[in-house]
Structure 1
């Protein structure tokens, strides 16, 4: 952990008004962006892409949506460097920094959407709390979203929809999570207990990491899925080691620093310490060192604490706007927001949810997986990134090029926004390209978003 003044908000700026083709900017692609009603939605989920027939009503002249800029906190392990800070404080910090980098006044924001999964005991509508703490007016609507690990990306997707529908010009979208701050729950206390012990439930496990239908931890079901798919321990450890090594290089090269807004953290004694780096990166990790760890979910299993993402705290936020609004106000942007894809089922397995959601988004945009310059896949488990890459035939060299959640952490309500920020900044650095962002989520769902510059 390096100590730095809190003013270190260095950011990548995009060249003014890039002219690359827009993803999802014609009527057919917009029809596939998820804005649907009635039976058309069911048909679209069954067969993508959907082609518009003559006479079918559509929204004309859909609005191009751009990501102006964004920011995130450093990510900390549970009970680690960010432990004193609530999810709301983390979210407020990310929102404030994102607006500053985007050169957008809080008074110009039309809506705020923030993902947060573990909400027990945090107070009403934590997105609203974070927005107001960041200086956004009480008169600006804010909504907290919960689609488990997908929440932060869903916020970005829904923000783009609001703008495309003409209901907003500027939307702040992201996610926040303090797994440290998650309470223990005492179910049944209100009704009383005549006899026997009272059991406390960990909200992290209950609301965040356990399938609500079958009651199984996601690690347990993923272990079962690994066996079904023949995914071995060695290849998972190799993915995990690469995650740490890539993240270590990105940290040393200042790439991660361009995402991070350093945050002051109160200490038990003395002055606050300004945290500038992610806590979990271990650049000296190798498949051999990771291979010494014990299985976490099954005797003789393949998932360990080393090839799964750690419990984490953190927040990320992005500022989205219509391209017309950005041009009118003379603002730069990082990239254009394209088609989205969603998937669910057929069971609670996570492995192929990112690839299936990405395939849906690619079909809607008329792209192929080979068109992607890089692909951000949330490393809930190494096997998820492995299987998703295999599904679409994408080389692992193009997946999580600056490290993934195994190294960086997985604050579950924020990770989707963190992935989008990572991809947007990388596109800005390259000056041109196509990228996808995707995650798996509890209960067997997936979310993906395409970005272009």
Structure 2
């Protein structure tokens, strides 16, 4: 089997449902959450565990260690199988897939499982060690993402600042969120086909039909007015909730496809990761998406699917404005606003969403999955049917 038309063969994909923190997946450690998804995927494509040469896992809240190794062992992969954890915060799941393709290109592996997992409900509590022995340890919610003198704003503040600076009104944000939930509810049965059952959960738990009057009454989590007095505040509806979830794909070389009688379903065509100003993380997905499209001579309207993990409605609207596309081109079956945000898995889930939507399209179809991350990072990946 040759790499006809370029790209690495993607053999299959699967993900868990996404559930808000404290919900149906809240009692699962990361390996208990991710291993059933991985096993389901291997059974689905009829690949024996000893065929897997490596696991690359994106994770952001596992408190260091090596969550990938925990997942690999819990899933029954060979003890000889290397397991690598990638932490680029929200970009972790997509970056893990890029790393996996690098392993194939370098001849380090023939079959690699890659993706992301986040058990936010079970994330360890964090504390800074005291400077003096007689001082208490100091709890903290998140680590620093940029050192002084860079600004390192809280993500809510950064999203509100972006909305204010770009004049993205709360009304527009709320309308986008309502539409995202509506799309997710309408597509729920189709989306369920990519979901591996974990503790009996087979549908994303968060999407719901939302009334505009009710959304308008929801409190603002960050209040902002732009220079003209336009209300650019962030509401609860326009913010993706903290969540648990996992997603994986299987990549293989043409040689491995022949050896294990694997039928590719899609192709990984390329990826771009870029940095931007740390104080504007919401905008950091724009540059890699534009670079990726330019590199492959594509216009955004030529894409069959454009999947952004939209942690904030303002972020999604900023991307649409930058690409000069209507919001109907983005997250056609609902996005992260309607699902939730399992940080290290969010990019991989967007990837699975894109793959599911192009699987049965003509070979020339293209899809992009993209995500922005704390600290000023962004990643975009280009996909095609096999």
Q: Return the offset for 1:167.
A: 2.0
- Please give the secondary structure, in 2, of the residue aligned with 1:291: helix
Alignment equivalent of 1:79, drawn from 3, 19, 22: 22
Alignment equivalent of 1:439, drawn from 363, 367, 371: 371
Q: Return the offset for 1:323.
A: 3.2
The answer to whether residue 223 in structure 2 is matched with residue 287 in structure 1 is: no
Aligned to 1:125: 66
- Please give the secondary structure, in 2, of the residue aligned with 1:97: helix
Alignment equivalent of 2:245, drawn from 314, 318, 325: 314
Aligned to 1:248: 185
Q: 1:193/1:305 Cα in 2 relative to 1: closer, same or farther (>3 Å)?
A: farther
Cα distance in 2 for residues equivalent to 1:249 and 1:79: 25
Segments of 5+ residues of structure 2 without an aligned counterpart are 226-231
Q: Return the offset for 1:342.
A: 1.5
Alignment equivalent of 1:238, drawn from 164, 175, 178: 175
Report if the CA contact (8 A) 1:70-1:97 is conserved. no
Q: Equivalences for 1:305-384 in 2 at 5 Å?
A: 305-384=236-315
Cα distance in 2 for residues equivalent to 1:190 and 1:255: 54
Q: How many residues were matched structurally?
A: 375
Report if the CA contact (8 A) 1:174-1:417 is conserved. yes
Alignment equivalent of 1:220, drawn from 144, 147, 157: 157
Q: Return the offset for 1:352.
A: 2.7
Cα distance in 1 for residues equivalent to 2:368 and 2:34: 24
Q: 1:145/1:192 Cα in 2 relative to 1: closer, same or farther (>3 Å)?
A: same
Report if the CA contact (8 A) 2:280-2:376 is conserved. yes
Cα distance in 2 for residues equivalent to 1:414 and 1:388: 21
Q: Return the offset for 1:381.
A: 0.5
The answer to whether residue 278 in structure 2 is matched with residue 278 in structure 1 is: no
Aligned to 2:193: 258
Cα distance in 1 for residues equivalent to 2:22 and 2:110: 38
The answer to whether residue 380 in structure 2 is matched with residue 448 in structure 1 is: yes
- Please give the secondary structure, in 1, of the residue aligned with 2:213: helix
**323-332 or 148-157: which moved more?**
323-332
- Give the superposed CA RMSD: 2.1
Report if the CA contact (8 A) 1:66-1:320 is conserved. yes
Aligned to 1:89: 32
The structure number with the bigger radius of gyration is 1
Report if the CA contact (8 A) 1:378-1:419 is conserved. yes
Q: 1:398/1:320 Cα in 2 relative to 1: closer, same or farther (>3 Å)?
A: same
Q: Return the offset for 1:431.
A: 4.5
- Please give the secondary structure, in 1, of the residue aligned with 2:100: helix
Q: TM-score with structure 1 length normalisation?
A: 0.78
Cα distance in 2 for residues equivalent to 1:449 and 1:421: 11
Q: 1:191/1:154 Cα in 2 relative to 1: closer, same or farther (>3 Å)?
A: same
Report if the CA contact (8 A) 2:162-2:314 is conserved. no
Aligned to 1:70: 13
Aligned to 2:41: 98
Alignment equivalent of 1:193, drawn from 116, 119, 134: 134
Aligned to 1:61: none
Segments of 5+ residues of structure 1 without an aligned counterpart are 1-16, 26-63, 265-273
Cα distance in 2 for residues equivalent to 1:78 and 1:137: 31
Cα distance in 2 for residues equivalent to 1:226 and 1:21: 43
Q: Return the offset for 1:162.
A: 1.4
Q: Return the offset for 1:299.
A: 6.2
Report if the CA contact (8 A) 2:178-2:212 is conserved. yes
Q: Equivalences for 1:365-404 in 2 at 5 Å?
A: 365-404=296-335
Report if the CA contact (8 A) 2:305-2:357 is conserved. no
